[in-house]
Amino acid sequence: MTFFEDGFKKNGLIWLRYIYYALVGCLIGAIVGLAETIFCLVLNGIFKIRVGLEMPLLLLMPFAGLLIVYIFVHYGGKSKEGMNLVFKVDQGKYSTITYLLVPCMAISTWLTHLVGGSVGREGVAVQIGATLSYRIGEKLPFSIPKSMLLETGIAAGFSGLFGTPIAAAFFGLEVLVSGAIRYEGLCSALTGSFMAAYISGLFGIHATQFVLPHVSITFFLMLRVIVLGIVCAFIGMFFSKSLQFMRNNLAKLWPNPYQRIFIMGILCAVLLATLYHGRYCGLGVNLIQAAMTGKTIYPWDWILKLVMTVLVLASGFQGGEVMPLFTIGTCLGYWIGTLLGIPPMFAAALGYAALFAAGTNTLLAPIAIGMEIFGTQYFMPFFIVCAIAFLLNKNHSIYVLQRNLRI
């Protein structure tokens, strides 16, 4: 065999492999995108049901909690581990992901939002994506590394829900192992995330984008942006440590999950009802929109949203942590911006991305989501604030099983 023929064969196989990865990514993205669409449409229907019934539905929180625990105890199996199950499969501790994770997480998240739990929705989204992607991969004619399947599924799940395919692709590549990106999975992660965003977009699920006012980027402004990044780093670390602390201690205080979620459900319902009549219920989109449209943001909005999210999730209710990170970061940035002399709306946008970086221990995904949501014209401040938040968070993450290869 000549040198030319040998080189052609090797290069041809390389390209065929990436074409195969891209096609698999499209397949996963289409299936996951459809699943995310169903999940999101039901969730949107729940939000409509809640209109005008916010306070009465809060009374049902402890009873919804009992139903959630019943679902996981009697039908969930290993699915009760949630995102930890995905990490354990990636790390070789488990061989597969049970299909039960999809309905159990979806139903429990719908129930949590129905009664006004202060949680996000991306937790179940990325878990649905990882589960479907991994199980699809088991049936493919040519094997694909399990890490790539998980990365592609996480990317597709994130993108199908948020409509930010570039940020989703990087999130899938970064979140399982912080500090080391397995770039071989970029091909399937990109095609999967774009396909999922396309499918969900057909049903009206798109990213909510905001137009920022013009801000002159000066040296002194960037110094203030660095300060904002430092603050976000420590608040992100505080959020992740608080969530882990409360989960551990509530489990020790009430080992029985039924007792724990019922008692805490009563406490959370009372707090959510009395704190500005449900201002901190649900996703927190109301607070993000208030910050971005010049409406009232209180200096304590960020800490009250953080406290309520930690209490609700630690009690055993299901949802996600990323959307609350966006909300907390937005309110924190708005408040810090007023103190530092940064235009509040601009600072809120930076906080949105920076707290995401600090809370998830990722870098490229937060930078990308900042540009996809708020525009590319402020790439430099988004890069700086996210880099600072990422570097100074001391490797803490809302994902306790996230592997860390950072120095």
What one-character-per-residue DSSP string does 101-153 give? HHHHHHHHHHHHHHTT-S--SHHHHHHHHHHHHHHHHTT-SS---HHHHHHHH
The confidence score (pLDDT) of residue 11 equals: 61
Domain residue ranges in the chain: 3-201, 219-404
> Can you tell me the distance from the alpha carbon of 30 to that of 394, in angstroms, rounded to the nearest whole number?
37
Matching fold, domains 3-201 and 219-404: yes
Which CATH number fits the domain 219-404, given the four candidates 2.130.10.10, 1.10.10.10, 1.10.3080.10, 1.10.10.60? 1.10.3080.10
CA dist 108 → 68, 99, 120, 278, 315 (Å): 5, 15, 12, 20, 13
pLDDT at 6 over 80: no
- Other CB atoms within a 10 A radius of the CB of residue 139 amount to 6
Predicted confidence (pLDDT) per residue in 298-314, tens digit: 999 999 999 999 999 99
CATH hierarchy code of domain 3-201: 1.10.3080.10
Q: What is the pTM of this model?
A: 0.94
Residues 6+ apart with CB under 8 A from 346: 212, 213, 215, 337, 378
pLDDT in tens, 328-358: 999 999 999 999 999 999 999 999 999 999 9
Q: What percent of the chain stands above pLDDT 70?
A: 97
> 322: closest CA among 360, 365, 289, 270?
360
Cα–Cα nearest to 195, from 404, 24, 406, 371 = 24
Q: How far apart are CA 196 and CA 165, in angstroms?
A: 8
* Among candidate residues 388, 387, 364, 380, the one with its CA nearest the CA of residue 164: 364
Closest CA to 282 of 84, 58, 59: 58
What gap in Å lies between CA 106 and CA 131, rounded to an integer? 12
Query: Predicted confidence band at 140 (pLDDT cuts at 50, 70, 90)?
Result: confident
Q: In this structure, which amino acid lies at residue 101?
A: L
- Token pair 């927190």 is at which residue? 284
pLDDT confidence tier of residue 364, bands split at 50, 70 and 90: very high
Return the pLDDT at 407.
64
120-137 per-position pLDDT tens digit: 998 889 999 999 999 999
Which strand (E) or helix (H) includes residue 404? strand 403-404
Mean pLDDT of 144-158: 94
Cα–Cα distance between 165 and 158 in angstroms, integer?
8
Residue type, 251: A
Angle, helix 364-374 to helix 344-360, in steps of 10 degrees: 150
Comparison of pLDDT for 398 and 5, the residue scoring more: 398
- Is pLDDT of 181 > 90? no
**What's the pLDDT at 152?**
97
Report, as an integer, the average pLDDT of 111-115.
97
CA–CA gap between residue 111 and residue 12 (Å, rounded): 51
Helix, strand, coil in percent for the chain, rounding step 5: 75, 0, 25
